[in-house]
Structure formats: structure tokens, C-alpha cells
Structure 1
């Protein structure tokens, strides 16, 4: 008899939509050449979308959400990984196209896995997860484009979210001057504790403007928000500066002009953590265990939950009511 285990499953059929803890067996897992005993996952905005009855991200049902996985190899048909080895996986359609981390076991392609980096525990890796990886990848790309500490302030928008709060802490740890914007005035002390030295309200960075460019303020920006906030960043970034666009919580549409690009030489970088090439992924994970490991990583975990608590937390994260990172314990 195939081993049975707990999983959080979303399903949609003619009978309607369901989301809850179920018993699965190893035979229920999708194809893959490595089976992982999952120890931790995490809750991201995309996981919240996966749990909606009319999900814009889930491509097939039933589905096990959870775009992040940290655990140990149970079985492997690939020589790169052996039983008992600690591994991590993010992106690659986990939780939307392929059963993800909200289950005690996951079966994936070896190409999706990374050895757990030195300097990180499995729990710390999920305190980072896709959000932390996205923040680190944004910093890596900004630095590849020439950004260095001392160039001027870097603005992080949506700064109390998973990506934003981690980016603030990472940048401060590297010696950057960090500005942070949030719609939550009560979280200013939290952001100062992460290393932000300048704080802006949401209204400061999202108001529409008739001007194609405004006063030059930022050497660079990391934007998980999109929409009007991204347009503001482009208008106010200094000559030769760079903006990393890595999220869409503020909307898909971008209303701007070409002026920041052709008058100030501003660069706009798209940040994709889902299909990030293996060589880049490996570099970023190594840095997450070393110079990009946030000093306040343990404090970034706002709560640790079980599978049965997922619906309540995913509802809150979609409403923008979650600060920092939520870890799912398997």
C-alpha cells in the first residue's frame, strides 16, 4: 500500500470549489525524478491567489498550492541528489501547475531543486522563500547594472510585504541607504528596525502626475507593487538609475512615458523568480546564505502555521493584512 500523508488541496469540479486538508498517497503525486519529504513551506501572495475559487494562477485541478519547498530527499533517480540530502525549490510552476509545498511529500524534477545553501537552515530558507529570493534577485540585477552602496538612496515600495521587508533588510545589511514606502503608518518603527532611514506613505508614491519626470530622488528602486507606484519610481529615479519591477499587488497596468528612459537613461529591469536560469538561481541562493542573509531573518517570521490554518492566512495576505513572512510547518 502506498504511503498516505496530509496535504492541503484545492479542487474545482461541477460540484463546486473546495479547499482543505486531505489524505493523499505517494501514488497521487505528479511525475518527477525526486521525491522530497517537505519540512516547511511558506505563504506568498501567489499562494493566496491559488486558493481563490476563481484563481487566476492555477492551471489544473486538483492542485496542492505552495510555491516554496524545503525538505529532505526521500527518493531520487538523479545522481545529483541522494536520500537524506536537504534541498529547496521555488517557482517552476509549483503550487499552480504542479503539486507544491502544502503537503508532507512532493515529487519534482531534479532540475528544480537546489541543495540547501550553507548558512541556512530549512526553516530560514522558507523564511526567505520566493519572497526572499525575489528580493535577492532584484538586488543582484541592480548590482549587475552598476548599483553600489554610496550611490544614493534606494527606494523599496510595498515595504511591509514579504519581498519589500526582506529587500529593506538586505539592502541595509549591504550598506545601502534605504528608503521605504508603506500604506501602514503604524509599521514605521518596524521598517526602521529593518534598516530604513527614510519613510514614505503610500500616497507619496502612488499619486498621478502630469509630468513625465519629476525631481531626481532615487539611485534605484525595488518595486513589488507595480501600477501607479512603478510609474512614480520611473519619474523620480536619478539619471542613469535602475528600477527592478518584481510584483503587481498595485495592479497590472502601467501608465508612463518614454521620457525617463530617453532623457535620464533610466533602466527598467523585469525580475522573474519562477523560471530564473539555473546558474543565476544557484548564485542567488549562495548569496542568501552569506552576504544577502538578512540580519533580521528570524524576526521576519511573523507566524508559523499548520495546514489547517492556510485559508485564514491566505485571505489576509490578499487583503494586505500580513506583515513579514508566514511559515507553513509540515
Structure 2
């Protein structure tokens, strides 16, 4: 038996609770992972509180990322004891995710945890930091260097204010699906708009992003901006997150 956050939706309504499960209840997959740490993301808050149409089927274990250790594998790329990471691929939405002490997943969704980065630090970075690194890599591929000028991180539509041949990487959904703009910045100043998808990225892109994170991560700083909780605290913390009462990163120690 192991514990998990399970979301149910039936005639009695929508609810999330800490639930004991058996391995036989896990969905299909060729790798069984002992989940060591997880990040509580905004999307997970939406799923747990039922404030967004995140969960596609029920019951569902939420959690869009995880870091842990392989306990069983039928996948050629992973062996028992390997430390692994997972981001995206619909886990926590269509496939049971990381808010559990164990997860059975498709081994193609996993990458090895890079050297120099432990599971807790990886989840303090989480999907948010991984997506940010994908944006950094995209900027570099489009010729942006430190000498190119200032970099702005914002939730607003800034194409009209970029310098000549500036680059925008668009990730996340800060305000809404609409995109009010004109073609003027693109045809008059050569602006480039690059979409950043963190969910379905190739293995090569994932490995590159996480390797770069491992090289530049400031672990003491991560400790300052993150707080660790256990599985039993997740639901209350998710509610606080959606109420705007959480600051910094929330790292879930699933074995606590």
C-alpha cells in the first residue's frame, strides 16, 4: 500500500483526498517509480480545487511533474535504482501523476536526473524552471546574447515595444488565450515570436534543458525560495495557492 492524492468526480460532487492505494490500481506503464519529491504547480492547484478543466478523466492522481527512483522497469533505458525526472506528457491530466508515493509511467516520458542535481532541488526548480530554461535556450538559438540588451519577463503582450530583431518566447497562460497584436512589429522590426511547449518536448530538448539547469542552479537560493511539505498538507496548501496566499516554491516530500 502507498498514499496518493486522488481526485474523484461523481454524483456526490468533485473532491480530492489523501487515499491509500495498491500498486495494482496504478495505470499501465513500463516503469514503476518511487516518487521522492514533487512540485505543487498552479495547474495542480486548479486540478485539486476543481477551479479549472485540468483533469480529463476520473479518478485521477494530480501532479504534472515528479522526481524519484526506479523500482521496477521493463524499459530498455532504465534500471532499478536509476534517479529520474518527469515533466508533462499529460500526467496529472490524462495519466496519473506525481502526487503519490509511487507512479507507473511510460519510460519514454522519463529522463535521467542530471549529475549534480538531487531530487529535491530538481523539484524546487520544477516544471516552471524547466520551462524557463527552454525559453532561455530558444533565445540563444535565435542569436540573443548578454550583449543584445535587457531581457524582460512579463505576462503582458510586449511585441510592440521590442527593439529591432528582438525575440519573444511565449510560455504559460498568464492572462488569457487572446493575443491582441498587429503584424507591424514582425514586418517592420523583424520581431520573432517563439512558442514554448514544455509538455511534449523531445527527449533531447528535455535532457539539454535539465543539464543546463544542473550547471547553473544555485541550491542555497533554491532553499531560500522553497518550502517543503508532506502529502497530508497538499490539499490545504493547494487551496491557499489558489487564494493567492502562497509565495515561493512548494516542494512536496511524498515519503513524509
TM-score by length of 1: 0.74
Q: Any runs of at least 4 consecutive aligned residues in structure 1 with deviations exceeding 3 A, and if so which?
A: none
Q: CA deviation at 1:253?
A: 1.4
The residue aligned with 2:121 is 124
**Following superposition of structure 1 onto structure 2, how do residues 20-99 of structure 1 map, counting pairs within 5 Å?**
20-53=17-50, 55-99=52-96
d(CA) in 2 for partners of 1:121 and 1:252?
Answer: 35
d(CA) in 1 for partners of 2:14 and 2:186?
Answer: 46
Q: CA deviation at 1:294?
A: 4.0
The residue aligned with 1:17 is 14
The residue aligned with 1:197 is none
The residue aligned with 1:288 is 213
d(CA) in 1 for partners of 2:247 and 2:210?
Answer: 23
Unaligned 5+ runs, structure 1 = 158-224
In structure 2, the residue corresponding to 1:84 is in which secondary structure? coil
The residue aligned with 1:208 is none
Q: CA deviation at 1:297?
A: 2.4
In structure 1, the residue corresponding to 2:167 is in which secondary structure? strand
Which residue of the other structure, out of 101, 106, 110, is the alignment partner of 2:107? 110
The residue aligned with 1:321 is 245
The residue aligned with 2:231 is 307
- Structure 2 residue 199 is matched with structure 1 residue 274: yes
Q: CA deviation at 1:254?
A: 1.5
8 Å CA contact 2:33–2:71 kept in 1: the answer is yes
8 Å CA contact 1:57–1:96 kept in 2: the answer is yes
User: For this pair of structures, how many residues does the alignment match?
Assistant: 253
Which residue of the other structure, out of 119, 133, 138, is the alignment partner of 2:130? 133
- Structure 2 residue 245 is matched with structure 1 residue 248: no
d(CA) in 1 for partners of 2:189 and 2:229?
Answer: 47
The residue aligned with 1:163 is none
Per-residue CA distance 1:18-75 (angstroms, 9 max, x = gap)? 1110011101100100000010001111111211335311110000011111110000
d(CA) in 1 for partners of 2:218 and 2:41?
Answer: 18
The residue aligned with 1:235 is 160
d(CA) in 2 for partners of 1:95 and 1:314?
Answer: 14
**Which 10-residue stretch deviates more, 127-136 or 318-327?**
318-327
CA RMSD, 1 decimal = 1.3
d(CA) in 2 for partners of 1:82 and 1:261?
Answer: 48
In structure 1, the residue corresponding to 2:172 is in which secondary structure? coil
Q: CA deviation at 1:324?
A: 2.1
8 Å CA contact 1:40–1:122 kept in 2: the answer is yes
8 Å CA contact 1:12–1:53 kept in 2: the answer is no
Unaligned 5+ runs, structure 2 = none
In structure 1, the residue corresponding to 2:4 is in which secondary structure? strand
In structure 1, the residue corresponding to 2:247 is in which secondary structure? coil
